[in-house]
């Protein structure tokens, strides 16, 4: 029998024996336990003799089925509650199962009901997380994505809680009641409009500040937007957070749907007018409004509403929310950055609203996650995947929309280049993870825990597949297909190929062969491009050849390209549908100066071209397509790194250093991309050199130092030119102007400035130390301060440790600052990285049970492979950390194990110690208590046969957990 690498396979998910119609739930919440009474209404499909409900770690008080005598057996180890009926229930018969159980909140199992960060003096903060199988930790149920039903939920809890919330609208307002336990509050919600899969259930009792804002659609119908954040949160930041949420809800309404690419300018006018309308509403409701201005403001408001109605006439809009309140709730401790819960979105508190300690990357994430989770109301909630194997479908389409939202404010070039960098980034980039031993396809063969599916394959590769489909069938057709899919499967479950078939139907294009390859294969295409020009016949021939491992099928994808002259004028452009291992494109054209390949990032994969340095230089200077232009620069950079790795004694090329400086002076380029275009990764595509992490770090620093030495004066000028001091008046107008658009320019300018500082920092002189220290002490935003702190950590400045300790004490006062501090220290290039990590770990402020702390400190250190894998002390620390963390949080632990995904590709001297570390981890954990960790180790070792063989020969033993 073939060894099971996974606990769950597709065959484990069949049709339910009954239909779940509705659940009446009653939660009696106490500090250390909750009594849950449930009445689950069901309807048989065929005669039913017995049922098995999911039931994990619950104390059973009673189980009954009115009018149907029954017996039950709780298989606690298997997390199943078996019910057998004395006589079968006939087909098409409605019946109910009633249970009363007790669930107990935990501190570190962030699933089901658990304790979140509790404000001082308040009763214990308790929230739920049901993705993917957390509902069975609350109540016996069919914890299946197809068990969509309506809910009526009663909550009773301590009257001191400011908020008692769950899905749906309030059916019975909150009131105080007298019980045997004293005075308690009770509230009832009904979620009757959108049948909901159990993983979308949310319940929370907590102490929050609640901020509200009315949201008005173009037809003047309204809903409320709510923000629940820790007590004492800054009101201005909360208002900005609601501004951004408003932008996300409005943008999705205006710019999604079947005609999302039609009447764009008109919709943009409406978008801006809604901002003016809301400002007038704010002025009208302000206590400071003068009586003589009321009528004038009201007339202006009516005029704006009339104009919005005029512009909206005849337009087709996108998703419109079906509830009365859409709420975002800050959760401090969670495995996920955000989680949609039908009307109640939880977002990690560190990312739910702006703050003075939020860095720019976190700010962009905050904006994106709001749009992402809100769009899940239609794509994920109203239309739900059929099983965990369809999580990719819920997420990929949603990310695709999220990216369009981001591009609206930050620009198409910036957003697309950001994704390309996510693909190419070393260690944590999608290409790196997708080619490692731990990689899973979009539709995997199996999984150990649904959290295994929450990876960059789901959130980056799968959206790239969706984007390729859009490229092939066209944006308008894609929008109509997506709308048709949402209407056809509204309030239902959909399978992967339901989505594919809908896109095929609207486009008339067969996508099934392409989909089968992309959904079931790991990795990505590497496309070798060769070209020949016959001047006599004016014939251009381009050959495309995929490099395919033995077991892989040819990838099928759109390949966008253009031929350009020396001035960057397009001679010919097209999108070619690659369907075979080798393809040929032949054109009758004038000879091009260069060829722009994979324009716009038309396919998920890499290009290998024989273009010489001169051609690439021309392309970097003249190509108008930002992705293809960057890929030419990336290729030049990669060749430079490869040359230095092979010849450590040689100096970086002056030609390359001057080109980099030229790009740094290109204001038009940087206005679009910030410093994203100037990224030099600590990696190379050369397979034999790609995993020499310590040497790659040294080479990158060598290149950066050469740029700084050659252009020190210019870099100082650029640094000062982009050194913005905020205008207080601008900051006052922040939300009025529209925070995202206003922020975009600031973020890009800061990127350029801090890139110049990083280059200068490689000179490591007292003068540069002074610049770094000045920025650290005078920075008015978190990004500048962190950039200076990082440069300080990587310097030889004598005050480094003292400043680190001072900054640590400051960051302890704020959870957002603390998280970024941890990540900055753990990711430092300084040789004392591990010493600093240990210093932080011992501090009482660091809490290993907190997911944010785990990810920031341990996760970042694990990815810092030059220390975590390539030093004896670092590997010992990582191994011990994984063993400790496995008993606390499996999801975070699996993330740390991904650092071992390329063992076989590393130098042989590392093979034995790395396999030994995994072997020791496996021997130290309980496979039953940490199955995801144990099975991930098995998969990593299966993917490292050479290293395992060396280890077994060296130790004269086989691995103990075979």
pLDDT digits (tens, 9 = 90+) for 29-47: 999 999 999 999 999 999 9
Q: Which residues, 6 or more positions from 534, have their beta carbon under 8 angstroms from its beta carbon? A: 540, 541
Q: What are phi and psi of 200, to 5 degrees?
A: -95, 0
- What is the chain's length? 962
Q: Tokens 């093979």, residue?
A: 911
Taking residues 444-469, report their average pLDDT: 93
Compute the average pLDDT of residues 569-593.
97
User: 649 in a domain, yes or no?
Assistant: no
Tell me the mean pLDDT in the region 881-894. 94
Per DSSP, the three-state class of 594 is: strand
- DSSP helix/strand/coil, 537: coil
Query: What is the C-alpha separation between 270 and 884, in angstroms, rounded?
Result: 54
Do residues 418 and 452 share a domain? yes
Q: Is residue 917 part of a domain?
A: yes
Strands ordered across the beta sheet of 94-103: 59-64, 94-103, 34-44, 18-29, 149-158, 182-196, 169-179
C-alpha–C-alpha distance, residues 843 and 691, integer Å: 33
Q: Which helix (H) or strand (E) holds 531?
A: strand 526-534
Torsion angle, alpha carbons of 228, 234, 236, 242, to 10: -20
pLDDT greater than 50 at residue 735: no
* Rounded CA separation 895/882 (Å): 10
The span from the CA of 520 to the CA of 605, in Å, is: 16
The values of phi and psi at residue 63, to 5°, are: -140, 130
Please, which pLDDT band fits residue 24 given cuts at 50, 70 and 90?
very high
Determine if residue 609 is left, alpha or beta; phi over 0 gives left, psi from -120 to 50 gives alpha, anything else beta: beta
Q: Are 95 and 42 in contact (CB under 8 A)?
A: yes
Q: Which of 682, 634, 628 is CA-nearest to residue 656?
A: 634
Judge whether residue 691 has pLDDT over 80.
yes
Where are any strands of DSSP class E within 104-246? 112-115, 126-129, 149-158, 163-166, 169-179, 182-196, 203-206, 209-216, 222-229
Q: Report residue 500: phi and psi, to 5°.
A: -60, -45
Q: Output the pLDDT for position 931.
A: 87
> Are 928 and 812 part of one and the same domain?
yes
How far is the CA of 271 from the CAs of 275, 401, 722, in angstroms? 7, 17, 31
According to the per-residue pLDDT averaged within each range, which of 104-113, 145-154, 420-429, 736-745 is highest? Answer: 145-154
855 with 774, same domain?
Answer: no
Angle at Cα 139 formed by Cα 137 and Cα 140, nearest 5°?
A: 100
- Cα angle: 149, vertex 489, 137; to 5 degrees: 35
Burial 294-321 (b: 16+ CB within 10 A, else e): eeebeebbeebbeebeebbeeeebbbbb
d(CA 473, CA 542): 24
10 Å Cβ neighbour count for 348?
A: 26
Q: Nearest 5 degrees, angle CA 680-CA 683-CA 688?
A: 150
Number of H helices, E strands in the chain: 34, 28
pLDDT higher than 70, residue 279: yes
CA atoms of 668 and 676, how far apart (whole Å)? 13
- pLDDT value of position 295: 84
Q: What is the pLDDT of residue 587?
A: 97
CATH of the domain at 125: 2.60.40.1730
Residue 727's pLDDT band (boundaries 50, 70, 90)? low
Residues in contact with 660: Cβ distance below 8 Å, sequence separation at least 6, in sequence order: 678, 707
Q: Which of 529, 684, 662 is nearest to 596 (CA)?
A: 529
Reference 726, options 709, 705, 750; nearest CA is: 750
Residue 740: band (very low, low, confident or very high) from pLDDT cuts 50, 70, 90: confident
CATH number at residue 590: 2.60.40.1840
Tell me the torsion sign for CA atoms 458, 464, 479, 339.
positive
Q: Taking all residues of the chain, what is their mean pLDDT, rounded to a whole number? A: 94
The reply to whether 188 and 266 lie within a common domain is no
Closest C-alpha to 939, from 909, 903, 907 = 903
Bridge partner residues of 182 (DSSP): 179
Closest by CA to 754, choosing from 766, 741, 772, is 772
Residue 109, Cβ density class (10 Å: 0-12 exposed, 13-18 middle, ≥19 buried) = middle
Say what the pLDDT of residue 291 is: 73
Strand, helix or coil for residue 588 = strand
Domain match, 516 and 530 both: no
Q: How many domains does the chain have?
A: 5
Our CA angle for 153, 154, 155, nearest 5°, is 120
Percentage of residues in the chain having pLDDT higher than 70: 97
The reply to whether 868 falls in a domain is yes
The single residue listed with the structure tokens 């232009």 is 629
Query: For residue 448, is it within any domain?
Result: yes
Distant-in-sequence, close-in-space partners of 597: CB < 8 Å, separation ≥ 6: 529, 559, 561, 607, 609, 628, 631
Task: Specify the CATH number for the domain of residue 867.
Answer: 1.25.50.10
C-alpha to C-alpha distance for 271 and 246, rounded to whole angstroms: 11
Which of 762, 797, 832 delimits the end of a domain? 797
Please give the pLDDT value at position 368: 97
CATH number at residue 312: 1.10.390.10
Of 186-195, 695-704, 950-959, give the lowest mean pLDDT range.
950-959
Average pLDDT over residues 611-625: 97
> Residue 734's pLDDT is what?
45
Residue 102 three-state SS = strand
Residues 453 and 915: their CA atoms lie apart, in Å, by: 25
At 1 the pLDDT is: 41
Q: Decide if 507 is inside a domain.
A: yes
Range with the poorest average pLDDT among 201-215, 242-256, 495-509, 714-728: 714-728
* Nearest by Cα to 25 from 136, 172, 152: 152
Domain of residue 531: give its range. 526-611
Query: In this structure, are 391 and 491 located in the same domain?
Result: yes
| Residue 949 structure tokens | 């063989």
What is the average per-residue pLDDT within 882-901? 94
H or E element: which one contains 912?
Answer: helix 911-924
pLDDT (mean) for 534-548: 95
> Are 140 and 286 in a shared domain?
no
pTM of structure: 0.95
450 or 386, which is more confident: 386
Residue 515 has pLDDT above 90, yes or no: yes
Distance CA 112, CA 133 (A): 8
Has residue 725 got a pLDDT over 80?
no
414 and 460 inside one domain = yes
How far apart CA 941 and CA 947 sit, in angstroms, is: 8
pLDDT digits (tens, 9 = 90+) for 767-797: 999 999 999 999 999 999 999 999 999 999 8
pLDDT at res. 738 = 53
Q: How far apart are CA 336 and CA 842, in angstroms?
A: 25
Based on the fold, state whether residues 339 and 463 are members of the same structural domain.
Answer: yes
Higher pLDDT, 731 or 942: 942
Mean local confidence (pLDDT), 608-613: 94
Residue 582, preceding bond cis, omega within 30 degrees?
no
C-alpha closest to that of 829 among 640, 698, 647, 959: 698
What is the spatial order of strands in the sheet that 338-339 belongs to? 209-216, 222-229, 325-331, 344-348, 338-339
209-254: pLDDT as tens digits: 999 999 999 999 999 999 999 999 999 999 999 999 999 999 999 9
Least reliable range by pLDDT among 198-207, 288-297, 907-916: 288-297
Q: What pLDDT does residue 956 have?
A: 86
Q: Which of 744, 767, 797 is the last residue of a domain?
A: 797
Residue 64, classed as helix, strand or coil, is strand
- According to the model, what pLDDT value does residue 549 have? 81
Closest CA to 35 of 87, 130, 105: 105
Is residue 242 within a helix (H) or strand (E), and if so which, with residue range?
helix 235-255
Structural domain contains residue 226: no
What are the tokens at 650?
A: 């040689």
Specify the residue for token string 């000028």. Answer: 717
Answer whether 834's CB lies under 8 Å from 877's CB. yes
793 and 819, same domain (yes or no): no
* Phi, psi for residue 781 in degrees, rounded to 5: -145, 160
Q: Please say which residue of 735, 765, 797 terminates a domain.
A: 797
pLDDT at 661 over 70: yes
Cα-Cα end-to-end distance for the chain: 14
Residue 929 CA: distances (Å) to CA of 585, 698, 846, 848, 882: 56, 41, 25, 18, 14
* pLDDT band, residue 916 (cuts 50/70/90): very high
Q: Is residue 622 part of a domain?
A: no
Q: Are residues 768 and 737 in the same domain?
A: yes
Distance, in Å, from the CA atom of 421 to the CA atom of 679, rounded to the nearest integer, reads: 8
Contacts of 508 (CB under 8 A, 6+ apart): none
In angstroms, rounded to a whole number, what is the distance separating the alpha carbons of residues 481 and 792?
Answer: 52
Predicted pLDDT at 319? 97
Based on the domain organization, do 936 and 789 belong to the same domain?
no
Contacts of 7 (CB under 8 A, 6+ apart): 446, 447, 448, 449, 931, 935
582-588 and 539-546 strand pairing: antiparallel
d(CA 861, CA 237): 31
4, part of any domain: no
């Amino acid at each position: 029998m073939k060894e099971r690498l996974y606990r769950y396979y597709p065959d484990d998910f069949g049709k339910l024996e009954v239909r779940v119609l509705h659940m009446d739930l009653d939660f009696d919440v106490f500090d250390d336990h909750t009594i849950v009474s449930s009445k689950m209404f069901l309807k048989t499909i065929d005669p039913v003799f017995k049922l098995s409900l999911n039931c994990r770690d619950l104390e059973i008080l009673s189980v009954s089925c009115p009018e149907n005598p029954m017996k039950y057996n709780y298989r606690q180890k298997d997390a199943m509650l078996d019910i057998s009926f004395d006589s079968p229930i006939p087909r098409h018969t409605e019946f109910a199962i009633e249970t009363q159980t007790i669930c107990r909140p935990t501190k570190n199992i962030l699933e089901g009901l658990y304790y979140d960060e509790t404000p001082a003096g308040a009763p214990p903060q308790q929230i739920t997380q049901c993705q993917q199988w957390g509902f069975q930790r609350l109540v016996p149920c069919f914890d299946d994505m197809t068990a969509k039903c309506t809910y009526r939920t009663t909550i009773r809890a301590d009257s001191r809680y400011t908020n008692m919330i769950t899905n749906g609208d309030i059916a019975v307002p909150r009131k105080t009641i007298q019980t045997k336990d004293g005075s308690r509050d009770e509230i009832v919600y009904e979620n009757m409009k959108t049948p909901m899969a159990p993983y979308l259930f949310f319940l929370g009792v907590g102490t929050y500040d609640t901020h509200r804002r009315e949201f008005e659609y173009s037809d003047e119908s309204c809903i409320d937007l709510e923000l629940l954040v820790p007590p004492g949160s800054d009101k201005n930041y909360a208002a900005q957070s609601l501004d951004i949420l408003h932008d996300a809800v409005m943008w999705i309404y205006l710019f999604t749907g079947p005609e999302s690419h039609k009447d764009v300018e008109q919709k943009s006018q409406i978008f801006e007018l809604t901002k003016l309308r809301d400002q007038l509403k704010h002025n009208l409701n302000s206590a400071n409004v003068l009586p003589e201005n009321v009528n004038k403001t009201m007339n202006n408001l009516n005029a704006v509403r009339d104009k919005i109605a005029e512009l909206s006439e005849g337009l087709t809009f996108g998703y419109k929310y079906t509830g009365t309140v859409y709420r975002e709730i800050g959760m401090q401790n969670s495995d996920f950055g955000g989680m949609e819960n039908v009307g109640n979105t939880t977002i990690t508190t560190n990312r739910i609203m702006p703050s003075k300690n939020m860095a720019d990357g976190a700010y962009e994430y905050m904006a994106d996650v709001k749009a992402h989770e809100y769009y899940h109301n239609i794509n994920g909630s109203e239309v739900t995947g059929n099983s965990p194997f369809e999580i990719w479908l819920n997420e990929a389409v949603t990310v695709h929309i999220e990216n369009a939202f981001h591009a609206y404010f930050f620009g198409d070039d910036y957003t697309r280049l950001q994704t390309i960098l996510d693909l190419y980034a070393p260690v944590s980039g999608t290409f790196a993870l997708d080619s490692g031993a731990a990689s899973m396809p979009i539709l995997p063969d199996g999984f150990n825990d649904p959290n295994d599916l929450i990876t960059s394959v789901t959130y980056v590769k799968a959206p790239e597949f969706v984007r390729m489909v859009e490229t092939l069938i066209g944006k308008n057709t894609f929008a109509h297909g997506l709308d048709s899919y949402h209407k056809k499967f509204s309030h239902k479950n959909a399978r992967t190929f339901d989505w594919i078939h809908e896109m095929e139907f609207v486009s008339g294009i067969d996508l099934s062969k392409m989909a089968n390859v992309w959904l079931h294969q790991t990795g990505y295409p590497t496309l070798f491009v060769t070209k020949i020009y016959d001047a006599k016949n004016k014939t251009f021939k381009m050959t495309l050849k995929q490099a395919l491992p033995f077991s892989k099928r040819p990838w099928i994808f759109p390949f966008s390209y253009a031929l350009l002259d020396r001035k960057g004028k397009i001679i010919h452009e097209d999108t070619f549908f690659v369907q075979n291992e080798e393809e040929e494109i032949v054109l009758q054209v004038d000879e091009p100066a260069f060829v722009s390949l994979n324009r716009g990032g038309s396919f998920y994969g890499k290009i290998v071209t024989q273009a010489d340095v001169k051609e690439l230089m021309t392309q970097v200077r003249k190509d108008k397509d930002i992705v293809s232009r960057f890929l030419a620069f990336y290729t030049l950079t990669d060749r430079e790194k490869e040359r230095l790795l092979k010849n450590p004694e040689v100096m970086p090329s002056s030609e390359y250093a001057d080109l980099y400086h030229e790009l740094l002076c290109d204001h038009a380029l940087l206005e679009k991309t910030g410093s994203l275009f100037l990224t030099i990764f600590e990696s190379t595509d050369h397979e034999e050199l790609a995993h020499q992490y310590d040497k790659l770090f040294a080479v990158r620093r060598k290149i950066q130092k050469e740029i700084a030495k050659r252009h020190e004066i210019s870099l100082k000028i650029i640094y000062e030119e982009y050194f913005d001091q905020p205008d207080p008046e601008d900051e006052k107008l922040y939300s009025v102007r529209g925070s995202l658009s206003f922020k975009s320019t600031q973020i890009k300018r800061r990127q350029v400035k801090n890139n110049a500082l990083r280059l200068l920092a490689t000179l490591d002189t007292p003068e540069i130390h002074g610049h770094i220290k000045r920025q650290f002490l005078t920075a008015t935003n978190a990004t500048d301060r962190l950039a200076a702190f990082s440069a300080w950590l990587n310097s030889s400045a004598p005050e480094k440790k003292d400043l680190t300790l001072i900054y640590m004490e400051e960051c302890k006062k704020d959870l957002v600052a603390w998280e970024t501090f941890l990540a900055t220290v753990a990711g430092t290039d300084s040789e004392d990285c591990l010493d600093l990590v240990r210093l932080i770990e011992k501090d009482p402020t660091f809490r290993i049970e907190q997911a944010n702390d785990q990810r920031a400190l341990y996760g970042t250190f694990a990815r810092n492979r030059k220390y975590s894998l390539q030093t004896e002390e670092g590997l010992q620390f990582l191994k011990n950390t994984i063993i400790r963390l496995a008993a606390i949080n499996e999801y975070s632990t699996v993330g740390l194990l991904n650092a071992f995904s390329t063992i076989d590709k590393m130098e042989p001297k590392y093979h034995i110690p790395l396999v030994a570390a995994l072997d020791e981890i496996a021997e130290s954990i309980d496979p039953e208590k940490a199955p995801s960790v144990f099975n991930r180790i098995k998969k990593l070792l299966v993917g490292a046969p050479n290293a395992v063989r060396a280890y077994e020969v060296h130790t004269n033993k086989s691995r103990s957990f075979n």
